[in-house]
C-alpha cells in the first residue's frame, strides 16, 4: 500500500533533525511491505493530488515560523477537514504551535495559526530545555511512555476539555505548570518533543503509521518489528529525563 505524505515546509521547519521522523516512518512502512510517497510542500505549493494520508510538520526558529505561518493558516480548513476524515498528522514544536489558533509574541504581536488544535501559545521569558518523559493513555490497558527533548520559550495553553498527548512525568511540557504535554485531536498529534521523536518511541511511530494506512484503505494491524535498539534508546532517554528530577 502506498501512503501519501505531505511534509509541510521541510526547507523551513527542520530543527533538531526533525526530518528523521519521516525516515523512521518510511523504514517501518517498508519493513511491512508498504511505501511512503513523500511530497515536500512549501509556501504556495498545492497539496498532493489524490489526497493526503499523513501530514508532517517539524519545528523551526521564530523567523522561519513567521515566514510560513500565513501559508499554514490559509491551509487550516483543508487540514482540519482531512484530519476529520481520518488523515494522520504529527506536528513538532513550532509546527505544533502554529497548528493551534495562534502565537502571541512578547511584543504583543499575534501570529494566526491553522486552528486544528484547541490551544493558544504565548511567548515566555525563559526557555524550557531538557529531556522529557510523558505518560500516554491511547488505549485501554497500561499507559505507554514517550521520551524526547524539549527546547521552547512558548507556553501552550490547552482549552478546557482539550486532550493532551500525555501527562508529564519529568520535564516541563506545554507550559511548565499544567502537567500536560502536547495535544491530540483524533488522528492528529502535536508535541514539543524533538530529537527526533519517533526513533526512540516506536509504538508512537506505529500508531501514526496505522492511522495513515487506515486512511489509505489498508488494514491498520501492523506486524511487530524487532525493536530492541529502539527500546534501548527509549530506556536511555527515559532514564535521562527521570534523572532531571521529578515532574514539571
> Which position among 7, 34, 152, 194 bears the catalytic label?
194
Residue 159, number of CB atoms within 10 A of its CB: 12
The DSSP element (H or E) to which 190 belongs, if any, is: strand 188-191
> Which position among 7, 34, 93, 183 bears the catalytic label?
93
DSSP track, 24-63: HHHHHHHTTT-EEEEEEE-TTPPPPTT--SEEEE----HH
C-alpha cell at 146: 514517550
Q: Please answer whether residues 21 and 72 qualify as being in contact, where contact means their C-beta atoms are separated by less than 8 angstroms.
A: no
136 among known catalytic residues: no
How far, in whole angstroms, is CA 195 from its chain's centroid? 11
Among 125, 136, 137, 138, residue whose Cα is nearest residue 175:
125
SS3 content of the chain, % helix, strand, coil (to 5): 30, 30, 40
152 among known catalytic residues: no
Is 127 annotated as belonging to a binding site? yes
C-alpha cell at 120: 493558544
Binding annotation for substrate: 127
Q: Show which residues are catalytic.
A: 93, 194
Amino acid at each position: 500500500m502506498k501512503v501519501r505524505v505531505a511534509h509541510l515546509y521541510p526547507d523551513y521547519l527542520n530543527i533538531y533533525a526533525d526530518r528523521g521522523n519521516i525516515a523512521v516512518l518510511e523504514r517501518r512502512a517498508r519493513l511491512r511491505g508498504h511505501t511512503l510517497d513523500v511530497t515536500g510542500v512549501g509556501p504556495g505549493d498545492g497539496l498532493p493530488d489524490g489526497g493526503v494520508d499523513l501530514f508532517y510538520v517539524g519545528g523551526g526558529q521564530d523567523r522561519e515560523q513567521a515566514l510560513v505561518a500565513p501559508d499554514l493558516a490559509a491551509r487550516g480548513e483543508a487540514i482540519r477537514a482531512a484530519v476529520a476524515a481520518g488523515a494522520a498528522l504529527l506536528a513538532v514544536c513550532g509546527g505544533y504551535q502554529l497548528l493551534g489558533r495562534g502565537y502571541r509574541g512578547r511584543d504583543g504581536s499575534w501570529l494566526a495559526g491553522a486552528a486544528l488544535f484547541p490551544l493558544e501559545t504565548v511567548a515566555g521569558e525563559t526557555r524550557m530545555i531538557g529531556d522529557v518523559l510523558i505518560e500516554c493513555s491511547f488505549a485501554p490497558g497500561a499507559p505507554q511512555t514517550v521520551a524526547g527533548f524539549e527546547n521552547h520559550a512558548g507556553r501552550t495553553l490547552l482549552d478546557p476539555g482539550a486532550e493532551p498527548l500525555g501527562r508529564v512525568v519529568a520535564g516541563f511540557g506545554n507550559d511548565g505548570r499544567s502537567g500536560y504535554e502536547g495535544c491530540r485531536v483524533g488522528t492528529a498529534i502535536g508535541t514539543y518533543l524533538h530529537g527526533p521523536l519517533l526513533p526512540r518511541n516506536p509504538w508512537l511511530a506505529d500508531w501514526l503509521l496505522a492511522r495513515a494506512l487506515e486512511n489509505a484503505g489498508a488494514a491498520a494491524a501492523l506486524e511487530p518489528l524487532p525493536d530492541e535498539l529502539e527500546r534501548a534508546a527509549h530506556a536511555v532517554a527515559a532514564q535521562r529525563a527521570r534523572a532531571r528530577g521529578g515532574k514539571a
